[in-house]
Structure 1
Amino acid sequence: YAHARICSVLTQYTARTGRAVDVAADVSLLTAPTEAALMLKLAAFPDMLTSAANDLAPHDVAFYLRDVASAFHSYYAAERFLIDDAALAAARMALLAATRQVLRNALGMLGVSAPDAMAREPAPDASAEAANPNPGDPA
């Protein structure tokens, strides 16, 4: 879900500003505690991956993904992203892009896809429901 949410924010940013995400944005502008926590978690990715490989512990990748998603959701709840301050918005988009990439890479290591959007379940077929209002009972 974190990956899809990030994709949505990045798409909204590009649509509103007409600019692509600048991964070279000035991340020194990111001073909020939730930003620091997320950046530290992302920075741990290479060492975590090395350790998981050396220890034959793929579950460590899953635990790391849970922690990154948790750090992202805390960040998402605490900060606004589509803001008037262009430099800060660009820095936040760069952090989101980095988070998206780490999530995508780690999920890929586990053989799991990283959807860009959450799929919606189709609405139940109203005509079938009308024909048998009690689906558990044979018609």
Structure 2
Amino acid sequence: MEFYNELELAPASVVLESARQYAEAFTNTPQYQNFVKAYNAFLEDDLAQGILNQLRQKQEQMHNQRLSAPISEEDQAEVKRLNQALYEQATVKVYLAAQNELVTLAQEQGDALSEALGLDFAAICRTGGCCG
């Protein structure tokens, strides 16, 4: 027999099973499937990955340099150019669109949970939670 205290509405096993079922349903949505497909395509895009690596290296170099000297206009322009080149890649555009669709779905689901629970689920999940 499973025990729970007066603060729990259901035994942990019921909550965990419900969470598992929700996760399974969520991962079967078109938005999630599109996101995974777009993410994998982005990871397999050698050109986009190369630009991303160059951008990360330049940003790290500038971060380390910032401690000892001001960032040059040339370095700033290079980061801007790499950033623009990255966001012009088709796989990046598709990935970001799929990510936005997935975030929208997650927000809608959070709203539905809030309504069903009678509390602001998103507020509870923010950094600091109920205690800070």
Give the structure with the higher percent helix.
Answer: 2
- The verdict on a shared fold, with TM-score over 0.5 as the criterion, is no
Q: Which has the higher contact order (CA 8 A, sep 6+)?
A: 1
